[in-house]
């Protein structure tokens, strides 16, 4: 089974019909070159957010984070995707119901903020629920994983925890994170976050 995403984009809103490469601010036409440029730019911006964190207001803060991370690469940074996305035969949340999804995530955030900072297990569990729902929503054409990890990191920071869901060169953490998000396994995500949160 392919690991690739599938996009319903008949109007080529995001990609160049000749090269198949996503339209980008640098005019890059080679996919590997774009991945390299995107990774470098987003990593630099993520480091800036670590030094000067954004304040999470509600689920719409996802747009602020996405814009900050990808502002150097995509004109649509911080904007809702306009195409349907699926992976391995599993469709992510349909565009037609996005408003309901954001309202539900806001409810989860409100519940999270009522949890005592000292209850690390409950904090981890609620963060895993938020992560699972944001991942299923997949609000952007590209950059969902990096955005949602930063979103969860910032929510943990609200309760004076540090959390790095993508530590460099830790294949085990990456595989557990991917398995948990792809399969919607809240228990696996909760255990992972509980282990990583400090």
- Point out which residues pair with 5 in neighbouring strands: 87
Which one-letter DSSP state was computed for residue 55? Answer: P
pLDDT of residue 169: 80
Mean predicted confidence (pLDDT) in 126-137: 98
Q: Pick the residue with more confidence: 45 or 11?
A: 45
| Residue ranges of domains in the chain | 5-196
CB burial readout 74-105, b (16+ within 10 A) else e: bebbbeebeebbeeeeeebbeeeeeeebbeeb
Q: What would the CATH number be for the domain defined by 5-196?
A: 1.10.3290.10
Higher-pLDDT residue of 78 and 89 is: 78
Angle (deg, nearest 10), helices 144-158 and 120-137 = 150
What is the average per-residue pLDDT within 145-170?
94
Please state, in angstroms and as integers, the Cα–Cα distance from residue 183 to each residue in 5, 20, 55, 175, following that order. Answer: 15, 28, 29, 12
Name beta bridge partners: 91: 86
Q: Quick one: which H or E segment has residue 86?
A: strand 84-87
User: Averaged over 36-63, what is the pLDDT?
Assistant: 97
pLDDT, average across residues 144-153: 97
Mean pLDDT within 45-69: 97
In order, the DSSP letters of 182-194 are HTT-HHHHHHHHH
pLDDT in tens, 101-116: 999 999 999 999 999 9
Interstrand relation of 5-8 and 90-91 (parallel, antiparallel or unpaired): unpaired
pLDDT band at 1 (very low <50, low <70, confident <90, very high): very low
Q: What is the pLDDT of residue 136?
A: 96
- Who contacts 11 (Cβ-Cβ below 8 Å, separation ≥6)? none
Lowest-confidence segment of 45-54, 163-172, 174-183 by average pLDDT = 163-172
Order of strands across the sheet that contains 90-91: 5-8, 84-87, 90-91
């Amino acid at each position: 089974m392919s690991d690739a995403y599938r996009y319903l984009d008949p109007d080529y809103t995001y990609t160049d019909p000749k090269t198949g490469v996503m339209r980008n601010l640098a005019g890059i036409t080679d996919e590997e070159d774009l991945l390299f440029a995107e990774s470098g730019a987003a990593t630099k911006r993520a480091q800036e957010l670590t030094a000067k964190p954004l304040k999470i207001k509600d689920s719409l803060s996802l747009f602020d984070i996405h814009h900050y991370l990808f502002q150097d690469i995509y004109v649509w940074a911080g904007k809702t995707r306009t195409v349907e996305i699926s992976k391995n035969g599993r469709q992510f949340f349909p565009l037609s119901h996005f408003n309901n999804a954001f309202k539900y995530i806001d409810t989860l955030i409100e519940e999270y903020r009522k949890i005592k900072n000292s209850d690390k297990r409950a904090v981890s569990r609620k963060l895993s629920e938020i992560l699972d729902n944001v991942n299923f929503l997949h609000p952007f054409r590209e950059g969902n994983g990096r955005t949602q990890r930063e979103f969860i990191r910032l929510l943990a920071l609200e309760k004076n925890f540090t959390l790095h869901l993508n530590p460099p060169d830790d294949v085990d953490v990456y595989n557990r994170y991917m398995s948990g998000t792809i399969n919607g396994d809240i228990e696996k995500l909760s255990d992972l976050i509980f282990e990583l949160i400090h």
